[in-house]
Amino acid sequence: MRASWKGTISFGLVTIPIKVYSAQKDKSVSFTLLHKDCLTPIKYKKWCPKCNRELTSDEIVRGYEITKGQYVVLTDEDLEKIPLKTIKSVQILGFVNAEEVNNPLLFRKVYYIVPDKGGEKAYVLLREAMKRENKVAVAKVAIRGKEYLALVYPLNHILALILLYYADEIIPESELPAFAEPEISEQELELARELIRMLEKKFVHEEYKDEYREALEALVRQKLEGKEIVIPETKPEEVKELVEALRATVAEIRKKKKQGE
């Protein structure tokens, strides 16, 4: 497995050499866009509208727009000269209780951190100390041209690096369209609570599968085998009043539980 980033973790006078690996992989279904007539994959050209021609990669530079239509060109060498400690280091700024940073709006991406050669003892010492104190570290790190706020998080026998959004990157609720809050009765609330209690279960991650991807793969196999694709008939659900729908759902779950006993 190839490391996504290599550097150090630094806190106080302690420096730990590390490698960072992606903790997630996207298995979303992807399609190739084809020309309808000949089924050839479509190409997207890097086109300069002023010069009216296609560009090669070595003709393209990175520009930062300062005013409308005016840019400052920045090279990779320029970016490497930015005077930040976080360019090659996860800089720990302090330690906080994990409960203080459990807002899902904050989380951007997760990486695994493993110690590089010579950093094993300091790595394990940091991990175990954080576990005993029930703390996570607030840090900063620069990856791929951006400095991120991050958490260093003890996770089982490794440390995780969780990239966060800054406060000014999160859209506040006040910017959402307002809606009038209707009154709810105690009867409606109690029915909803009962339904929640009846559907309560432990979260077992492995139980959940990407059914869309499985169905799509089955569809592809059917088309390859020349089979007719049959769409099952579905009856539209009857629209019920809220309380009636809650009662019907609770009754249905009770019936299923009784049959399963």
Same domain, yes or no: 124 and 228: no
Total domains in the fold of the chain: 2
Same domain, yes or no: 133 and 105: yes
Segments forming the whole domain that contains residue 160: 5-24+81-169
Compute the average pLDDT of residues 99-111. Answer: 93
pTM here?
0.76
**Lowest-confidence segment of 102-116, 124-138, 144-158, 226-240 by average pLDDT:** 226-240
Separation CA 206–CA 253 (nearest Å)? 23
From 138, 169, 200, the end of a domain falls on: 169
Q: Is residue 86 part of a domain?
A: yes
| Angle 102-138-12 from CA coordinates, rounded to 5° | 155
Same domain, yes or no: 163 and 213: no
Same domain, yes or no: 208 and 244: yes
Residues 6 or more apart whose CB falls under 8 angstroms from that of 246 comprise: 188, 191, 192, 195
Q: What is the pLDDT of residue 225?
A: 81
Q: Which amino acid is at 196?
A: I
Residues 6 or more apart whose CB falls under 8 angstroms from that of 123 comprise: 9, 16, 18, 113, 114, 115, 159
Q: Is residue 64 part of a domain?
A: no
| Structural contact between residues 128 and 35, judged by C-beta atoms closer than 8 angstroms | no
Same domain, yes or no: 127 and 222: no
Q: Is residue 155 part of a domain?
A: yes
Compute the average pLDDT of residues 110-128. Answer: 94
Q: What is the pLDDT of residue 240?
A: 60
Confidence label for 239 from pLDDT (cuts 50, 70 and 90) = low
Confidence label for 107 from pLDDT (cuts 50, 70 and 90) = very high
**Lowest-confidence segment of 21-30, 46-55, 125-134, 224-233 by average pLDDT:** 224-233
Same domain, yes or no: 164 and 191: no
Same domain, yes or no: 154 and 200: no
Bridge partners (DSSP) of residue 56 are none
Find, among 178, 106, 172, the residue nearest to 136 by Cα. Answer: 106
Compute the average pLDDT of residues 223-235. Answer: 72
Separation CA 211–CA 64 (nearest Å)? 42
